């Protein structure tokens, strides 16, 4: 198991302060503002964002002119230019599903994942399905954090066929590293979308975790999953033949940033030795290899 360090006092104060805010109301307002199409307003938002995150490289985007997008959200969820993230030639390589920062990664031990060092949560709670969780007994997992400056579309680590999705209602805690260190079982408590795929090497799940200020989660197969932020879980099954994805294909995106958790079945893959919590990763960079 490889996980970030425990929370500091500052982390706990930060997370507690955020937790006292009306997270849903603020997130709804943020989504509305991000979708505004008034030219002066969306340009002002984009200009302020680029000033706050000067490292953003618009030359990687399919549309490199930041002000050509019709809303801040369209800019924020911009697609990459063709060829910007080439996949490795090795057909056995599993790849990173996002641009972002690698969080915890390792083995699923006794049905649990590690959020931070010494803090675990169970797969059944994360997936909201104990039967499905059993399919990942003895498997592996990796968590990825998408910062505001990152590319915000989620892609396939390997080829697979979509079998089912499950929307799980929950809180909207922040998922930045400070909150991850401070809020127990955060990923199993936040709103999320669980997507189950069947691959040549067994089951794979991608969990898109909502968060504070995240205005929505979108799924390629079904469109907008949330909002609305529902009170009950919602499951949907698919004919796998109708929803086949190749490695690197887009499977969903966030409206504003969040986290993704990838789960793999037992004896499916081994992580590359160079990976460690806290390191930046890029879409389609090697994550590990199929066994």
Q: Which residue has the higher pLDDT, 190 or 211?
A: 190
The pLDDT, as a whole number, for residue 25 is 81
Catalytic residue among 11, 27, 129, 155: 155
152 is catalytic: no
Residue 151: which pLDDT band, with cuts at 50, 70 and 90?
very high
Tell me the C-alpha distance between 271 and 161, whole Å.
22
Strand (E) or helix (H) holding 200: none
* Burial class, 141, CB count within 10 angstroms (exposed 0-12 / middle 13-18 / buried 19+): buried
pLDDT of residue 274: 93
Q: Is the pLDDT reported for residue 156 higher than 80? A: yes
The 3-class SS string of 32-101 reads HHHCCCCHHHHHHHHHHHHHHCCCCCHHHECCCCHHHCCCHHHHHCCCECCCCCCCCCCCCEEECCCCEE
Q: Is the pLDDT of residue 1 over 60?
A: no
Condensed to tens digits (0 to 9), the pLDDT of residues 179-188 reads: 888 788 888 9
The two tokens of residue 154 are: 């989620």
What local confidence, expressed as pLDDT, does residue 246 receive? 96
Give the H or E element holding residue 232.
none
Distance CA 247, CA 37 (A): 34
Tell me the two tokens of residue 206.
């991608």
User: Mean pLDDT for the chain?
Assistant: 89
Any idea where the domains of the chain sit in the sequence? Answer: 93-290
Average pLDDT over residues 149-160: 94
| CA-wise closest residue to 249 among 97, 123, 41, 42 | 97
Q: Terminal CA-to-CA distance of the chain, rounded, Å?
A: 19
Tell me what pLDDT residue 117 has. 64
Structure confidence at residue 155 (pLDDT): 97
* Segment 85-97 mean pLDDT: 92
Give pTM, 2 decimals: 0.92
Given the residues 71, 158, 258, 259, select the one marked as catalytic: 258
Q: How many CB atoms lie within 10 A of CB 162?
A: 25
Active-site pick, 11, 99, 129, 219: 99
Residue 186, pLDDT score: 86
99 in active site: yes
């Amino acid at each position: 198991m490889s996980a970030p360090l425990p929370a500091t006092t500052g982390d706990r104060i930060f997370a507690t302060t955020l937790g006292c805010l009306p997270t849903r109301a603020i997130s709804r307002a943020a989504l509305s503002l991000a979708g505004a199409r008034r030219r002066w307003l969306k340009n002002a938002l984009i200009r302020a964002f680029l000033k706050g995150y000067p490292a953003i490289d618009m030359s990687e985007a399919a549309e490199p002119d930041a002000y050509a997008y019709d809303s801040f959200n369209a800019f924020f969820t911009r697609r990459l230019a063709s060829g910007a993230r080439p996949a490795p030639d090795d057909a056995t390589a599993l790849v990173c599903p996002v641009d972002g920062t690698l969080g915890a990664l390792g083995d699923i031990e006794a049905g649990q994942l590690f959020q931070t060092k010494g803090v675990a949560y169970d797969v059944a709670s994360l997936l909201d399905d104990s039967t499905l969780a059993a399919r990942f007994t003895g498997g592996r997992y990796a968590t990825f954090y998408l910062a505001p400056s990152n590319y915000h579309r989620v892609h396939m680590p390997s080829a697979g066929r979509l079998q089912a999705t499950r929307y799980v209602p929950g809180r909207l805690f922040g998922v930045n590293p400070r909150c991850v260190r401070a809020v127990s079982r955060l990923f199993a408590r936040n709103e999320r979308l669980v997507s189950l795929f069947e691959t040549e090497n067994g089951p794979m799940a991608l969990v898109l975790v909502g968060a504070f200020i995240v205005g929505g989660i979108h799924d390629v197969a079904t469109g907008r999953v949330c909002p609305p932020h529902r009170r009950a879980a919602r499951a949907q099954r698919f004919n796998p033949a109708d929803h086949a994805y190749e490695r690197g294909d887009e499977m969903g995106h966030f409206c504003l940033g969040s986290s993704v958790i990838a789960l793999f079945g037992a004896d499916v893959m081994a992580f590359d030795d160079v990976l460690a919590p806290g390191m930046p990763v890029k879409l389609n960079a090697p994550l590990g290899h199929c066994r």
